[in-house]
């Protein structure tokens, strides 16, 4: 059965596997002190245009989010996120498990809006009892969001300006960063993003790696002893080479962006396909996650042939469903789907 359920249905980009095989018996030290990791970090710093950035390679998304958030917050602080933010919903309370509240703001098609953030922060400090409450300690957004949407440069700058006003670090969760940056709707580059936040991640798991998320502190201001806390969070690989090799390959000759571009191209074909067949979009996503409304007849036609994710059942009988493309999606797969719709 053909699957569009997510962007982690396949293994890794073949160049990654080739490299894993090629250097397999080369002896390297553990815990990220290997040469591959050093090279990967250097390439990431270069791609970000941040020569003094500190880069760490972790394994998975939830792990990375909770490690970054817990280590950047003080005990009396929580993290501000949109109600639809991944950390607020689908991470099994990993942030709260580390002792911190997720403070939620309205979600505008998956996005936080600078005006909402500003109003929240102003209201917080205007409340006479704020010292009995959880202090906002950082701001979390995802790029692209859980609904595939993107912040424009203007929107992101506005959020970052509010953060600056209240001295709150801005954390950009880039689990699907490649699919955001290569979208035709994206008006910022990776180096520009690095200037508009205090810490961000470059997702590997969903963009061609077997596993791995790079955490980038663009100005080099990682929390003190971050390495030890990564270990404490169970996020330190003994064979750091595994993530080192992968990010090294992904950031050689722009592979990360090339393979992300494939997902975007396929996603745009997929969206055009649905529209041309008369399906309603749930929202107009510019990235690799496409949200469509399917009725029972359509779902019956795809039954057993094409897999996708159902997000919500609507009173009108239709369902909001997600079709995700990835670095591995082929034009042939889109064509197969076209025939079935």
75 binds a second copy, rule: CB under 8 A: yes
101 binds a second copy, rule: CB under 8 A: yes
242 binds a second copy (CB under 8 A): yes
Query: Of residues 32, 57, 61, 321, which one binds a second copy by CB under 8 A?
Result: 61
Region class of 189: left (phi > 0), else alpha (psi between -120 and 50), else beta: beta
Q: Is 238 exposed, middle or buried (0-12, 13-18, 19+ CB in 10 A)?
A: exposed
Question: Would you call 317 exposed, middle or buried from its count of C-beta atoms within 10 A (0-12, 13-18, 19+)?
Answer: exposed
| CB nearer to a second copy: pick between 21 and 51 | 21
- The yes or no reply on residue 125 touching a second copy (CB under 8 A) is no
- Identify the residue whose tokens are 């290569």: 182
CA-CA distance, 335 to 340, in Å (whole number)? 9
Residue placing its CB nearer to a second copy in the complex, 71 or 285: 71
Tell me if 205 contacts a second copy by CB under 8 A.
yes
78, HSE (Cβ side, Cα atoms, 13 Å): 19
Q: Which stretch binds a second copy (CB under 8 A): 109-117, 179-187, 236-244, 294-302?
A: 236-244
Shortest reach from residue 236's CB to a second copy, in Å: 7
Nearer CB in complex with a second copy: 97/296? 97
How far apart are the C-alpha atoms of 177 and 61, rounded to whole Å?
12
Nearest distance from C-beta of residue 178 to a second copy, angstroms: 15
Chain positions 16 to 35 lying near a second copy, rule: CB under 8 A, are 17, 20-21, 23-31
When asked if residue 232 is in the footprint of a second copy (CB under 8 A), the reply is: yes
**Which residue among 69, 112, 211, 215 contacts a second copy (CB under 8 A)?**
211
Q: Given the complex with a second copy, which of 105 and 186 has the nearer CB atom?
A: 105
**Binds a second copy by CB under 8 A, chosen from 37, 71, 145, 325:** 71
At residue 81, φ and ψ (nearest 5 deg) are -145, 160
- Candidates 191, 231, 254, 277: give the one binding a second copy (CB under 8 A): 231
Interface with a second copy, residue 167, by CB under 8 A: no
CA distance 16 to 11: 10
Q: Rounded to the nearest whole angstrom, what is the least distance from the CB of residue 156 to a second copy in the complex?
A: 26
Measured from the CB of residue 65, what is the shortest distance to a second copy in angstroms?
Answer: 8
Binding status of residue 293 toward a second copy by CB under 8 A: no
Nearer Cβ to a second copy (67/145): 67
| Phi, psi dihedral angles at 105 (to 5 degrees) | -115, 160
298 binds a second copy (CB under 8 A): no
96 vs 295, beta carbon nearer a second copy: 96
């Amino acid at each position: 059965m053909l699957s569009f359920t997510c962007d982690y249905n396949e293994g890794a980009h073949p160049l990654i596997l080739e490299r894993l095989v090629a250097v397999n018996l080369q002896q390297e030290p553990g815990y990220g002190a290997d040469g591959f990791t050093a090279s990967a970090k250097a390439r990431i710093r270069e791609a970000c245009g941040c020569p003094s950035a500190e880069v760490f390679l972790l394994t998975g998304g939830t792990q990375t989010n909770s490690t970054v958030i817990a280590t950047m917050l003080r005990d009396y602080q929580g993290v501000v996120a949109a109600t639809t933010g991944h950390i607020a919903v689908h991470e099994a309370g990993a942030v709260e498990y580390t002792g911190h509240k997720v403070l939620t703001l309205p979600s505008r098609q998956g996005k936080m809006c600078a005006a909402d953030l500003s109003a929240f922060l102003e209201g917080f400090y205007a409340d006479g009892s704020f010292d009995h409450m959880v202090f906002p300690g950082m701001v979390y957004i995802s790029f692209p969001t859980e609904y595939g949407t993107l912040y424009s440069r203007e929107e992101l700058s506005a959020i970052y300006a509010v953060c600056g006003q209240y001295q709150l670090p801005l954390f950009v969760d880039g689990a699907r960063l490649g699919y955001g940056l290569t979208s035709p709707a994206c008006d910022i580059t990776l180096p520009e993003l690095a200037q508009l936040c205090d810490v961000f991640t470059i997702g590997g798991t969903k963009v061609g790696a077997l596993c791995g998320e790079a955490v980038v502190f663009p100005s080099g201001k990682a929390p003190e002893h971050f390495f030890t806390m990564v270990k404490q969070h169970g996020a330190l690989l003994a064979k750091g080479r595994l993530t080192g090799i992968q990010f090294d390959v992904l950031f050689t000759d722009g592979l990360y962006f090339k393979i992300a571009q494939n997902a975007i191209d396929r996603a745009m074909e997929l969206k055009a396909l649905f529209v041309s067949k008369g399906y309603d979009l749930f929202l107009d996503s510019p990235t690799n996650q496409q949200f469509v409304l399917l009725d029972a007849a359509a779902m019956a036609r795809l039954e057993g042939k094409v897999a996708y994710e159902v997000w919500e059942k609507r009173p009108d009988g239709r369902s909001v469903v997600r079709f995700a493309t990835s670095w591995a999606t082929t034009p042939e797969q889109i064509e197969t789907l076209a025939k079935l719709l």
